Structure 1
Amino acid sequence: MFYRDYARLAGFSLRTARTSKETNHWVCSREGWHEGKRGEEPHKTEKGSKRCGCPAYVKVKHDKKQGLWYFDHVQQAHNHKLEPSHRMTRYMHAHKNMEEGICDIFNIMTRNGVLHQAAFNVMTDLYDGRHMWGFTEKDIKNMKAEKVREERDDDLNKLLQFFRKCKENNEHFYWDVDAEPKTGVVRNIFWSHASQRAEYRDFGDVITFDTTHKTNSRRMPLAMFVGANNNLKNVTFGQALIGDESTGSFRWLFDTFKSCMGGRQPHVILTDEDPAMRQAIKVVFDKTHHRNCRWHILRPWEFELDQLYTQHKDMKLKEKLESLINYPLGPTQLEVEWNRLVDECGIAEHPAIKALWGKKGRGVFQLTSRGCTVAE
């Protein structure tokens, strides 16, 4: 386009102001002033905006009879300094040249596990330096982010189509989606097969809820509702992909799970120590006893406990402590035996010991080793 080439040579960027079948109106990219978000306090300086009310613009019209476009109005004067050098104009938005081949190379390297900086260095060598590029590193990041969004949307559509087919084949298949009201962006997805719902009716008294499976390529935690059958084999009652681990997401998920299971709440639910999860459980599973999985409670103190076990090996601290945890006693007797053990070893004030005793009501001594292991 002539005017775009002129703008590049003159040293400014441009953008489309208005367009129709018969008229096109282009302005300097620095036309107008920065407009803050509605309700936003005005700032003295807008660091992110270069608009300065530049009056330069052109308006072209279409002559239907001759089939030609002509300049109807032209305002060439700018109120800011122009940058006619190629070193500056090639990075202006209207003049960036992001070749399709470059995008393909970056995407190939990304798919094969090449880190962003390494891929960037490879492209620098291929193009004999970054000064030969018509784009910036930020453009590459934006391009990759857009590619991820496109792939994610495609995968999501395929998943929803699969769920619809499952529902057609079996009316007892259950699925639901939590979407942003304004944008329609999917935040959370839950599904449960007919067989899983049947398993919950038989074995749903004690369940564990786990979000530690975060290795999927979409970086969405896979959440699972799991229990144990009468043979102490794990059974899954439902699963979900959650966009974040916020109280809002957990509340939606727990409400959906409860609806899926006909409103029946479990007697006990085991989870990690996530505070957002705890808040959601209080609201949704108000008749359920919430306990933390022993593994999640002990895990942060593994190193310290191993040190204590080594230091007090002759007193068999490990065997005695695990016996108290795995085979809990009544509250009074447990306190007596606990105090006796920590006093004998002189570890009553050790941070790990104090932390475990402080969480005695949240799961450490609440379940037998056998039951907790199956749930975990």
Structure 2
Amino acid sequence: MYCRYAHSVGFSVRKDHHSFWPNSRKIRMKDYVCSKAGFKKGLDLNVKSKYRKANTRTGCPAMIRFSVDQDGEWKVNKCVENHNHELARPEDQHLLRSCRKITEERAFVLKSMTDAGIRTIDAFTYLADEGRDAYNFVQRNRRCKIETGDTNSLIEIFKNRANSDNMFVWEVQYDEEDRLMNFFWADGVGRIDYDCFGDVIIFDTSYRLNKYNLACAPFVGVNNHWQNVLLGVAFLSEETVESFTWLFRTFLRVMGDKHPITIFTDQDQAMSRAIEIAFPQTRHRLCQWHIMKKLPSKVHCYNSNNKVRGLIYKCFSRCDSEEEFESTWTEMLNEGDLHSHVWLKELHRIRNKWSTTYNKTYFNLGILSTQRSESTNNVCHGISKPTSTITECFLGLEKVMKTWRRNEKDEDFKCSQSDVVPLVKSSPILRQAARFYSRKLYSFFEEFLQGVGGMCIAQASTDLSTFFVKTVENIDQPRYWTVNFDDAEGSIECSCGKFGMMGILCSHCLRVVRQIDIINIPPKYLLKRWSGRARKDLYSDRPLSSMVATGIPSDGIGSMIFRNTKLPSSNKQPEESNVHYHLLVVAES
């Protein structure tokens, strides 16, 4: 009874004290408390542990006490309803530990399936789908596919999604012969995710759907828990400048004309040209992994000369200034006699797209490759078969997207219901970071803080505005960083550019902070996109964008708009061609 009540309110229940009648095992008194009652016992610092469990206790007073007479009749003696913590939201109440249970019917089905040799994950998936009435859904869509064909079937699903989600947007593009070429769609959650976490996006087209050889082109972002979020997806029939330009302009318009700060792609000329046209304000970064993969076949001495290989690696991500990059690059050319190497000359020409040295002032999450997007493609490989239709691939992607969002909600719930235990409890900075950051980002911050032990102040100016920090582990060839501190502005900046790229203070800055006895991190260095409640914090001091608040695209044509565009003829440049838009459907809010 108390568990049902707790479930409806939004907290979990834990058993507490009890007593028995003399000389019997009959319950005389029983207490049930909120799961956050009491406090966690102090840790034994002498015992090393690889994992520190989050602290869920807040000393919550909520409880109920039952007394039981000799005949087994239960009565309430005491009931405290007040809580001193945030209660779970209705959509998260199923995650409460004391509320998790499985019905006898489902337990029987689960046992029967596992006994028959079906994998546990497949059995769980079946139960989840069955719980959402998936059978009727699949049958309805299967009839639709048989009656109208694959393309029209997908468009019908788009329309149905738009009816249930007034922020769902889709667009299709036809060629001059009215053959359907490209699809793009984004739902309401993806558009809100872009509003919050669209500063850096990863775009990759390396996976192709087998049946039609369509390129699957997901737009992937990174949320405050360092998890992938799917912002939108496209299916492209050809990877040309025209197709990419149409897609990027469509994406930008759907997302309220908000340009990302950085976009990561592979080394594709058509994609690069389209980004210059559609995203002129965005920093284009190339995947380092793809470039490194080409090095053994492009540079003849890469495998045989260790010094050349080490200098190339240094140029990618270990040079702290443009001067250091150029001197390292010259040394590499001299060492391998590569001055006339055509491929390296072209690589040097576009160095601002792949070297971290030239991107320290652009927020990029510290990402070096498109592997986050390629992990999406690995998932696509699991849902796509040689006979899969585009409709089936779309439904499979939706399923993956729901799994990602469920994992994100689970992490949001954990952040709201538990506190991170700092490695050093007496550290004010760690306590501040543990309260502010999400659990994953706090682990990054703590990792940076641990690096402080390997740093020392080599020199400091008399006014304590400039510090030279060096490593202590390599005494013969230590690395140096310059940290500038402005006491009046409360600002600190390091030559490594970690904060500018990732939004977290580096170990060099933290070493200086410790040196000058700053107790707390200045608020300007706590980015809200990394907080445990990022969406709430981001929208607390600014209104929702017009796209998110009303679901109306920036062009103002209704709450949802679906377009059919004609590809321009091949002899025209995308920016010069006359592209006509035809309104197909305007869905009411």
Question: TM-score, normalised to structure 2's length?
Answer: 0.35
Matched residue, 1:133: none
Task: Please state if 1:332 is matched with 2:326.
Answer: no
Match of 1:157 in 2: 152
Counterpart position of 1:283 = 277
For the pair 1:308 / 2:304, whether they are aligned, the reply is no
Would you say the 8 A contact 1:293–1:364 is kept in 2? no
Query: Deviation per CA, 1:330-374, whole angstroms, max 9, x where unpaired?
Result: 212210122224324444444554443233133244458941236
**Aligned partners of 1:290, 1:363: CA distance in 2, in Å?**
9
Q: Report the 3-state secondary structure (helix = DSSP H, G, I; strand = E; otherwise coil) of the residue aligned with 1:342.
A: helix
Q: Cα deviation per residue 1:227-256 (whole Å; 9 max; x = unaligned)?
A: 222343322211101121222222221111
Q: Partner of 2:450 in structure 1?
A: none
The CA distance in 2 between the partners of 1:359 and 1:190, in whole Å, is 30
Which one of 169, 176, 184 corresponds to residue 174 of structure 1?
A: 169
Show CA shifts across 1:202-227 (max 9, x none). 11112122111114311111112122
Alpha carbons of 1:180 and 1:369: their partners in 2 closer, same or farther (altered >3 Å)?
closer
Q: How does 1:99-248 map to 2 (within 5 A)?
A: 154-180=149-175, 183-248=177-242
Structure 2 vs 1, CA of residues 375 and 333 (structure 1 numbering), >3 Å: closer, same or farther? farther
**Per-residue displacement from partner, 1:75-127 (whole Å, max 9, x unpaired)?**
xxxxxxxxxxxxxxxxxxxxxxxxxxxxxxxxxxxxxxxxxxxxxxxxxxxxx
Please give the alpha-carbon distance, in whole angstroms, between the structure 2 residues aligned to 1:286 and 1:303: 33
User: The residue matched to 1:211 in structure 2 has which SS?
Assistant: coil
Tell me: CA distance 1:369–1:353, structure 2 relative to 1, closer, same or farther (3 Å): farther
* Cα distance between partner residues in 1 of 2:198 and 2:338: 40
Residue pair 1:211, 1:224 contacting (<8 A) in 2 also: yes
Alignment partner for residue 358 of structure 1, among 349, 354, 363? 349
Deviation string, structure 1 residues 57-87 (Cα, Å, up to 9, x no partner)? xxxxxxxxxxxxxxxxxxxxxxxxxxxxxxx
For structure 2, which runs of at least 5 residues remain unmatched after alignment? 1-144, 374-589
Q: Shift of the alpha carbon at 1:298?
A: 3.5
Distance in 1 between residues matched to 2:158 and 2:233, nearest whole Å? 13
Q: Quote the residue 2:367 is aligned against.
A: 371
Is there any run of 5+ residues in structure 1 with no aligned partner, and where? Answer: 1-149
Equivalent positions of 1:27-42 (< 5 A) are none
**TM-aligned CA deviation for residue 273 of structure 1:** 3.1
**Quick check: 1:224–1:236 contact (8 Å CA) kept in 2?**
yes
1:253 maps to: 247
Q: Is the 8 A contact 2:311 2:329 kept in 1?
A: no
- Percent identical: 29
Match of 1:322 in 2: 313
Q: Describe the shift of the 1:247–1:324 C-alpha distance in structure 2 as closer, same or farther (beyond 3 A).
A: closer
Write the letter of the residue equivalent to 1:281. I
Q: Which amino acid aligns with 1:285?
A: F
After superposition, the C-alpha distances for 1:22-75 in whole angstroms (9 at most, x for unaligned) are: xxxxxxxxxxxxxxxxxxxxxxxxxxxxxxxxxxxxxxxxxxxxxxxxxxxxxx
3-state SS of 2:173 partner:
strand
Are the counterparts in 1 of residues 194 and 255 from structure 2 also a CA contact under 8 Å? yes
Per the alignment, in what secondary structure is the counterpart of residue 258 of structure 2?
A: coil
1:2-26 per-position Cα deviation (integer Å, ceiling 9, x unaligned):
xxxxxxxxxxxxxxxxxxxxxxxxx
Look up the equivalent residue of 1:311 and give its one-letter code.
S
Q: Secondary structure at the match of 1:238?
A: strand
Q: Which amino acid aligns with 1:308?
A: C
Assess, with a 3 A threshold, how the Cα gap between structure 1 residues 327 and 226 changes in structure 2: closer, same or farther.
farther
Partner of 2:333: 342
Q: Which runs of 4+ in 1 moved over 6 A?
A: none
CA distance in 2, matches of 1:354, 1:280: 23
SS across alignment from 2:235: strand
164-173 vs 270-279, greater mean Cα deviation: 270-279
The RMSD of aligned alpha carbons is: 2.9
Query: Residues 338 and 232 from structure 1, CA distance in 2 versus in 1: closer, same or farther, beyond 3 angstroms?
Result: farther
CA distance in 2, matches of 1:217, 1:309: 39
SS in 2 for 1:308: coil
Query: Which segment drifts farther, 339-348 or 208-217?
Result: 339-348
Higher relative contact order (CA 8 A, sep 6+): 2
CA deviations over 1:151-192 (Å, ceiling 9, x no partner): 9x71112111111111111111211111246x5421211011
Q: Counterpart of 1:244 in 2: which secondary structure?
A: coil
Instruction: Give, as a single letter, the amino acid of the residue that structure 2 aligns with 1:164.
Output: K
The 3-state SS of whatever aligns with 1:176 is strand
The one-letter amino acid paired with 2:197 is F
Q: Secondary structure at the match of 2:214?
A: coil
**What is the TM-score normalised by the length of structure 1?**
0.53
SS in 1 for 2:182: strand
Matched, 1:293 2:293: no
Partner Cα distance (2:169, 2:268) in 1: 27
Distance 1:164 1:201, change over 3 A: same
Using a 3 Å threshold, how does the CA distance of structure 1 residues 247 and 354 change in structure 2: closer, same or farther? closer
